[in-house]
Amino acid sequence: MWDNATIMMLVKETGTTLFITLSSTVFGYALGLPLGILLVVTAKDGLWPNAVIYKILDVTVNVIRSVPFLILMMMLIPFTRFVVGKSYGAAATIVPLTIAAAPFIARLVESSLLEVDKGVIEAAQSMGAGIGTIVWKVLLAEARTSLIVGATITLGTILGYSAMAGVVGGGGLGDVAIRYGYFRYQADIMIVTVALLVILVQILQVIGTKLSKKLDKRITG
């Protein structure tokens, strides 16, 4: 049973999982990062307080986060078909994953940016810095360690979600686990698949932690 074809398939599906996870994270940040920044900037004691924008974003983020991913995926099928042309396969999985990840990322970014010392922001303002400069050079730069930790959490979470997408034929390791392990009672393949997922999460976590530590200059010695 452990013939070349099976091994090749596992290798290929590991690649698919990584592809889905990484692309969804990148697209998720493309939406979630600006969203998180806007939440911080328009908040009541933000750089540009705007109650209306803040409330709209706040509610939207909460609503999307409240919908269970499996259901969100189903609901988004027409949209997914519109974007990628079909509703199954790796590319089609990226669409609902991105939509589900964006508000999650926005909250993580928001909390990271709120950690930045208000005094440093005030210092930048006293130097005549505008909002753009403060966001880019103070908020994002000073919170970078926390942002990387957040990105690592996001990768792990999306990886888990991507396995769920296997239920609807999304491709990747989750798909393998369900098709072989569940429908064909091949427990050994299921176990190997799960082990591969665990290893992937571990690797991502180690890289993320290392990177954030390396970039953190607040720790002496």
Partner 1 sequence: MDMETMIKVKDVGKTFCGKENTVEALKGINLEIHKGEIYGIIGMSGAGKSTLVRCLNFLERPTTGTVEVGGKDLAALSEKELRAVRMQIAMIFQHFNLLMQRTVLDNICFPMEIAGQKKKGARAKALELLEVVGLSEKAGAYPAQLSGGQKQRVAIARALAMNPKILLCDEATSALDPTTTKSILALLKDINQKYGITIVIITHEMAVVREICTHVAIIDGGSLAETGRVEEVFARPRTRAARKLVFQGEIGSEEMKWNLATGKRCIRIVFRENSSFEPVIGNMVLACKTPANILLADTKDIGGVAHGQMILQLPEDEAVAGKMIDYLKERKLEVEELDHYVG
Nearer to partner 1, 78 or 128 (CB): 128
Q: Give CA 42 to chain center in angstroms.
A: 23
Nearer to partner 1, 151 or 173 (CB): 151
Is residue 50 a contact residue for partner 1 (CB under 8 A)? Answer: no
Q: How far is CA 139 from CA 83, 111, 134, 177, in A?
A: 33, 11, 6, 42
**What separation, in Å, do the N-terminal and C-terminal C-alpha atoms of the chain show?**
53
Is residue 51 a contact residue for partner 1 (CB under 8 A)? Answer: no
Contact set for partner 1, span 181-220 (CB under 8 A): 215-220
CB of 96 to partner 1, least distance (A): 35
> Rounded to 5 degrees, what are φ and ψ at 218?
-80, -15
Helix (H) or strand (E) holding 121: helix 118-126
Residues in contact with 175: Cβ distance below 8 Å, sequence separation at least 6, in sequence order: 13, 165, 166, 169
Is residue 142 a contact residue for partner 1 (CB under 8 A)? Answer: yes
Is residue 43 a contact residue for partner 1 (CB under 8 A)? Answer: no
Is residue 4 a contact residue for partner 1 (CB under 8 A)? Answer: no
Contact set for partner 1, span 62-121 (CB under 8 A): 117, 119-120
Nearer to partner 1, 188 or 216 (CB): 216
Measured CA to CA, the distance from residue 113 to residue 120 in angstroms comes to 12
CB of 220 to partner 1, least distance (A): 5
Q: CA angle 79-55-77, nearest 5°?
A: 10
Is residue 141 a contact residue for partner 1 (CB under 8 A)? Answer: yes
Interacting residues toward partner 1 by CB under 8 A: 117, 119-120, 122-130, 133, 137-138, 141-142, 144-145, 215-221
